[in-house]
Amino acid sequence: MTAARLLRPTLAELWTFLAVALPVLGALLAPMAAVDLAYQLRAGAQILDTRAIPSVDAWTFTIAGTPWTDQQWGAQVLLGLVYRAAGWSGLMILRAGLVALAFGLLLLVVRRRSPGLAARWQALLVLGAFLVASPALALRPQLFAIVLFAATLFLLADRRAHPRRLWLIPILALAWANLHGSFPLVLLLLGLAVFADVLDRGEWRISLTITVVSALATLVNPFGLDVWGYVVRLATNPTIGSRVSEWRPPGLTDVPGLLFWGSVVLVIVALGWRARRRLACGMKPLPGWPALLTLLAFAALGAVTGRGLAWWPLAAVFVWAGLLRDAPTGSSNATASPSPSPAPSAADAPTGITNSNEFSRGVRGSPLNALVAGLLMVAGVALLPFWRPVGAFFVPLGVLTYAPLGIAGYVGDVTVRLASPGLRVWAPQHWGSWLELASPSDAVAVDSRIELYPASVWADYDTVESGSADWQSTLDRDSVTFVITEVGSDGKLEAALTASGTWGRVYTDADGSIWGRLGR
């Protein structure tokens, strides 16, 4: 692109820029939650230092020695390397980069599936997917999986024109099985592709072979076949669903649930609109079975667990990009093909939203478009964490949530000052992983590895957090050194600690308080 073109981009080019730039800005603007990230970083550091994957728990005093299948070890190593090289700022930029890659790939999917669609509609589809998926875009192993999911969609969308590229999918499957437990989704996507190829009388043998090879590729991991056992155990663990809100079915009382159900209703309404238009043109009203099954499968996944919000919008955009290409123009009486042709023309797009050659030399650009793009780039640079004041643990201001810096600093200072590593810290579960990372020589009661803890540990946790009758005996039995309470959440426990006569506040700040045993 020439300098003159950069200074006068077309409106279509601006929309294309916005489709990726706005998700990146969102990723730079939103803080990172330390709930899962912190323990992933500690595990990554341990793997890098010991050259071994953790196999048992060594971080808590409630389940020390319990077997641990650390399936996400690959993501932990990547996160650990970035953290060592560039700290918290590097991690925030990594998240922005992964978000850019995921939605950049989704934009390529839309352009491949519906090249005649106007750039603004292509961008709006991608931005709509970003809006619905945004609650699931925290920096953790799942974000790597979202990128692999988008890459798989792109390779499947492009398989008619470039069938050999499908052989990249087994490589993605291998990486996925070492990064995150959602790797079975690659086989679901491939199975739907095989079904579509069979109905379309396409090269289904190739896609079936790719599916088999990809299934075998998932076994290339340190745990072998047990990596599938890990997925089954995780999916059937009742504790996760009861303890972790994002594993529960999405409701209508929070933003993620409203976004999900709103998008499902929008898809249903759009299907009805499309069916009406096609009936008016004498065409088959409903999409082919592969498209319907894809929508049903991923909508069902999102309805069962909030984690499904990560996959549903991307899969829905993949389907809709193909359906928009096959929408009637108002004069056709032909029957829609169950599988779209590899190279549709602009005439195949819906009437009123086509732009046959928006990127051609004949379309004039505007300095105003360049100004908008320039302002967004300046905003992105301004949001980089390098310019922010740095606090304890070298955390830039506003980068982390669920990370009580002062509390962790006090615990670590006591450990060093008294030269007594191995303090036992009872803290809210969502702070456990942060305290493990900040003061690794001490032990916590519970952290974010919810699946590791038996029901008896959670019963003890509830007893203490509620300040009920046996709370003190539980702390005495486990020789707890410090109890940490959170402002606004642990009122009953704080009242019990105050009334006990054996515990007193030793530290307090805006996040919460630390309680120690009196007389020690």
Q: What is the pLDDT of residues 50-104, one digit of tens each?
A: 999 999 999 999 999 999 999 999 999 999 999 999 999 999 999 999 999 999 9
| pLDDT, position 4 | 60
Among 214-218, 341-345, 432-436, which is the least confidently predicted range? Answer: 341-345
Do 319 and 213 belong together in one domain? yes
User: Is residue 130 located within the same domain as residue 218?
Assistant: yes
- Claim to verify: residue 99 and residue 240 sit in the same structural domain: yes
Q: Percentage of the chain with pLDDT > 90?
A: 75
The phi, psi pair for 282, rounded to 5°, reads 75, 25
367 falls within a domain: no
Closest CA to 291 of 195, 417, 377, 358: 195
The residue range of the domain holding 107 is 3-30+71-327
Q: Are residues 321 and 469 in the same domain?
A: no
Residue 146 tokens read as 């979202």
Phi, psi of 404 (to 5 degrees): -70, 95
Residue 433 has pLDDT above 80, yes or no: yes
Which of the listed ranges 52-66, 232-246, 276-290, 348-362 does the model predict with the highest average pLDDT? 52-66
- Please check whether residue 353 lies inside any domain of the structure: no
What is the SS3 assignment for 501? coil
Domain presence at residue 92 = yes
User: Under the phi-then-psi rule, with left for phi > 0, alpha for psi from -120 to 50, and beta for the rest, what region is 105?
Assistant: alpha
Cβ atoms within 10 Å, residue 238: 8
β-pairing, 512-517 vs 482-486, is antiparallel
Number of domains composing the chain:
2
Q: Is residue 131 part of a domain?
A: yes
| Residue 118 shares a structural domain with residue 208 | yes
Comparing CA positions, the residue from 379, 356, 308 lying closest to residue 146 is 308
The whole-angstrom distance between residue 232's C-alpha and the CA centroid of its chain comes to: 20
pLDDT tens-digit map of 346-365 = 223 333 334 444 554 446 77
pLDDT band at residue 231 under the 50/70/90 scheme: very high
Which residue in the block uniquely carries the two structure tokens 């700022």?
A: 89
DSSP state of 512: E
Of 176-190, 268-282, 345-359, 462-476, the least confident: 345-359
Residue showing tokens 């916590």: 444
Query: Is there a contact between 173 and 155 (Cβ–Cβ < 8 Å)?
Result: no
CA angle centred on 41, ends 40 and 42, rounded to 5° = 95
Domain assignment present for 437: yes
Q: What is the pLDDT of residue 422?
A: 83
The one-letter amino acid code at 359 reads: F
Helices assigned H by DSSP within 178-288: 184-199, 204-217, 226-235, 238-243, 255-280
425 forms bridges with which residues in the sheet? Answer: 444, 482
Please list the alpha-helical segments (H only) found in 114-162: 119-133, 141-157
Per cent of the chain over pLDDT 70 is 91
Instruction: Single out the residue in 298, 327, 356 at which a domain terminates.
Output: 327
Return the closest-CA partner of residue 205 out of 216, 217, 193, 188.
Answer: 193
* Structural domain includes residue 333: no
CA distance 41 to 439: 13
Question: How far apart are the C-alpha atoms of 171 and 183, rounded to whole Å?
Answer: 12
CB 291 within 8 A of CB 326: no
d(C-alpha 268, C-alpha 273), whole Å = 9
pLDDT band at 9 (very low <50, low <70, confident <90, very high): confident
Q: Measured in whole angstroms, how far is the alpha carbon of residue 365 from the centre of its chain?
A: 36
Helix (H, G, I), strand (E, B) or coil at 134: helix
Judge if 131 and 246 occupy the same domain.
yes
Residue 345 clears pLDDT 50, i.e. is over it: no
Contact in structure between 7 and 356 (CB atoms under 8 Å): no
pLDDT (tens digit, 9 = 90+) per residue, 198-208? 998 778 899 99
* Residue 469 pLDDT greater than 90, yes or no: no
Given CA atoms 40, 45, 50, 56 in this order, what sign does their dihedral have? negative
81 lies in a domain?
yes
Quick one: 289 exposed, middle or buried, by C-beta within 10 A (0-12, 13-18, 19+)? middle
Alpha carbon distance 439, 158 (integer Å)? 49
Residue 270, CB-side half-sphere exposure with 13 Å CA sphere: 19
How far is residue 437's CA from residue 446's CA, in Å, rounded to a whole number?
Answer: 13
Please give the Cα distance from 43 to 436 (Å, whole number): 10
- Is the per-residue pLDDT at 421 higher than 80? no
Q: How confident is the model at residue 517 (pLDDT cuts 50, 70, 90)?
A: very high
For 21, 111, 368, the CA distances from 9, given in Å and listed in that order, are: 15, 19, 9
Does residue 378 belong to any structural domain of this protein? no
Contact 43, 76 (CB under 8 A): yes
Which of 327, 345, 380 is the last residue in one of the domains? 327
CB 150 within 8 A of CB 107: no
Shared domain for 78 and 226, answered yes or no, is: yes
Confidence at residue 445, expressed as pLDDT on a 0 to 100 scale = 96
**Domain end residue (candidates: 327, 349, 378):** 327
User: By three-state DSSP, how is residue 67 classified?
Assistant: strand
pLDDT tens column, 30-49: 999 999 999 999 999 999 99
3-state secondary structure 443-496: EECCCCCHHHCCHHHHHHHHHHHHCCCCHHHHHHHCCCCEEEEECCCCHHHHHH
Residue 40 to residue 180: CA distance in whole angstroms? 12
Q: How confident is the model at residue 419 (pLDDT cuts 50, 70, 90)?
A: low
Are β-strands 512-517 and 503-508 bridged in parallel, bridged antiparallel, or unpaired? antiparallel
At residue 349, the pLDDT reads 32
